[in-house]
A and B are shown apart, each in its own frame.
Chain A
Amino acid sequence: MKILVCVTSVPDTTTKISFTDNNTKFNKAGVTYIAGPYDDYALSRAVELKEQFGGTVTVINVGEADTETMIRKCLAIGADDAVRVNAVPTDAYFVAEQIAAVAKEGNYDLILMGRESIDYNGGQVHGIVGEMLGIPSITPVMKLDIENGVAKMYKEIEGGKQTVEAPLPLVLGCQEPIADWKIPNMRGIMTARTKPLRVVEPAANDVLTSVDSYELPAARSSCRMIPAEEAETLIMLLKTEAKVL
């Protein structure tokens, strides 16, 4: 089985978000970058499937050279090789074009992604790649097994879940509990240094959206404390003052 895992580099989940240059640039100062948490699930499941069926796991990232530490960590977790498309990931359509171009060369059985990136939360790249390759895309997938070339999955729907199946190849947007997060071991870290990381230039340059500026949410005015003994007055306040009941 040949699996391609798409991994994006995002600010750590505890990052305090701020902007510079008159709110036109994200402030990278002091920010730690990690692989998208959902992408981590996708990678972990890919490594498990490789253990089960053999084959290869290739990681792809569209990003500049500073994402290579993150890519090496993916190799340490168990991917065999990696491709970095050397470009700023400007928008979902642009990223999808790069991934689709690499995917076309590779004939992958599965293209696994995260449900969404946690910076722009678009949840778009998998669907666009699926469309570009003319194969199904399914999201958010919480369980994935392969039996005789058919993927058996369950996916989340509003207020429940659905079991679905489809023949390979497929593009999937993954989320927990599809696999347990894997942490690299010493051997993985050692071998990751010598695994191939190919850098390619972008295949196309269609950018359909651009961000003009950023804003932070208005701070909440201070919290009104209600003594525990008078807890029931909360309900009155919610009705008459906050007007939400």
Chain B
Amino acid sequence: MSVLIFAEVADGAIRKSSQEALYYGAKVAEMMGTTATALAIGSANTDALAAAGRFGVTKVLHAADGALNEANSMAYASVIAAAAAHEGAKVIVTAKSTLSDGVMARLSGKMKAALGANVTDLPDLSNGFRVMSSIFTGKAFAVTELKADVKIIAIKKNAIVPVETAALATVEAFAPALNDADFSVKITGQTKASGAISLPEADLVVSAGRGFKGPENWGIVEDLANALGAATACSKPVSDLDWRPHHEHVGQTGVKVSPNLYIACGISGAIQHLAGVNSSKVIVVINKDPEAPFFKAADYGIVGDVFEILPKLTAAVKAL
């Protein structure tokens, strides 16, 4: 019986967002007096997978069948179920993502597993199995008991701060039989903003709203983001107006982020926007209107014109 962690693979290595899941899974294993095994699906470099050991897992199962290179929620759920059976795992851990959302829901259906989503802390095993989940889009938390025999935990970013060691995990090939029926969904194309820092994974985020007046003014937002090594985000009207791509919009109906630093520029702070960002560790608000509601949710604020303030901040970051 071990704890199984679904480790998402990108560019041949385990995604940064999954490192937290590895560490979290290893911690849960420690609490349960067992070991943690990671499962990596799709083509990946063996040395990169062995590095999962740094986060406390002892073994990595690698399902490298070429048919699995394209993320496919049905096939991935089947492979995870097979790996759980192989390891006798009753607890399965993942980082929440657009991929794992679809995969874990199917796995819950397949294994009749209790799924805790948006988990923000280690479980409480003192009497049953309880997790703390973020609900109402970040506006509250629920202590939820996972009552089924098999439990799935999908953690929110920043649920745990990994501590790395120099340990390496052993990597084992894992080749369960694949089922043709799992492959009826065909991926016919993909566009990805390459090189850019992925918003859900980012530690630092610079976000801009309708206060910027038009897409031609995003240069100063990008300058600050680049200087900081931050991802860029925006409010909903900005993506509705097509000033920025849809996947940059944060909030109730957009991406939910919980970075260490969220800098909101020219965003009023509507409740639906706050919902997606209020679990950020530190929030900075820059707005020319001192009455903007966002200041009430901020740790640091500057009342001023974004067109003047942002270049000053960029220069200050470069001078660090």
A228 closest partner in B (C-beta): B304
Which of A49-57, A60-68, A80-88, A237-245 faces chain B? A237-245
Complex alpha-carbon distance, A126 and B320, angstroms: 48
State the Cβ distance, B310 to closest chain A Cβ, in Å. Answer: 9
Residues of A within 8 A of B190 (CB): 157, 160-163
Residues of A within 8 A of B187 (CB): 162-164
Q: Which chain B residues in 120-149 approach chain A with CB under 8 Å?
A: 130, 132-148
From known contacts A17-B140, A139-B102, A215-B143, infer whether A124 and B191 are also in contact, taking CB-CB under 8 Å.
no
Q: Is B68 an interface residue (CB 8 A)?
A: no
Q: Which chain A residues in 113-151 approach chain B with CB under 8 Å?
A: 116, 118-132, 134, 136-140, 142
Q: Is the CB of A157 within 8 A of B192?
A: yes
Q: Is A29 an interface residue (CB 8 A)?
A: no
Binding site for B on A (CB under 8 A): 11, 13-15, 17, 19, 37-38, 92-93, 96, 116, 118-132, 134, 136-140, 142, 155-167, 173, 175-177, 206-217, 220-221, 223-228, 231-232, 234-239, 242, 244-245
Q: Is B46 an interface residue (CB 8 A)?
A: no
B278, B297, B302, B317 — which one has the most chain A CB atoms within 10 A of its CB? B302
Complex alpha-carbon distance, A140 and B100, angstroms: 11
State the Cβ distance, B230 to closest chain A Cβ, in Å. Answer: 10
Which 4 pairs show the lowest CB-CB distances between chains A and B? Answer: A127-B105, A131-B109, A228-B304, A160-B192
B118 closest partner in A (C-beta): A121
Q: Would you mind naming 7 contact pairs between A and B with Cβ atoms under 8 Å apart? A: A121-B118, A134-B181, A136-B185, A139-B102, A215-B132, A231-B312, A245-B204
Complex alpha-carbon distance, A139 and B105, angstroms: 11
Q: Is the CB of A164 within 8 A of B188?
A: yes
Binding site for A on B (CB under 8 A): 71, 73-74, 77, 97-99, 101-110, 112-118, 130, 132-148, 181, 184-193, 196, 198-201, 204, 228, 246-247, 252-253, 256, 260-261, 271-272, 275, 278-279, 281-285, 295-305, 308-309, 312-313, 315-317, 320
Complex alpha-carbon distance, A122 and B201, angstroms: 19
Residues of A within 8 A of B133 (CB): 120
From known contacts A138-B185, A223-B301, infer whether A216 and B108 are also in contact, taking CB-CB under 8 Å.
no
Q: Is the CB of B301 within 8 A of A225?
A: yes
Chain B interface helix/strand/loop/mixed: mixed
Q: Is the CB of B313 within 8 A of A220?
A: no
Complex alpha-carbon distance, A173 and B297, angstroms: 31
B102 closest partner in A (C-beta): A139
Residues of B within 8 A of A122 (CB): 105, 115, 117
Q: Is the CB of B115 within 8 A of A223?
A: no
From known contacts A123-B117, A127-B109, A226-B300, infer whether A37 and B253 are also in contact, taking CB-CB under 8 Å.
yes
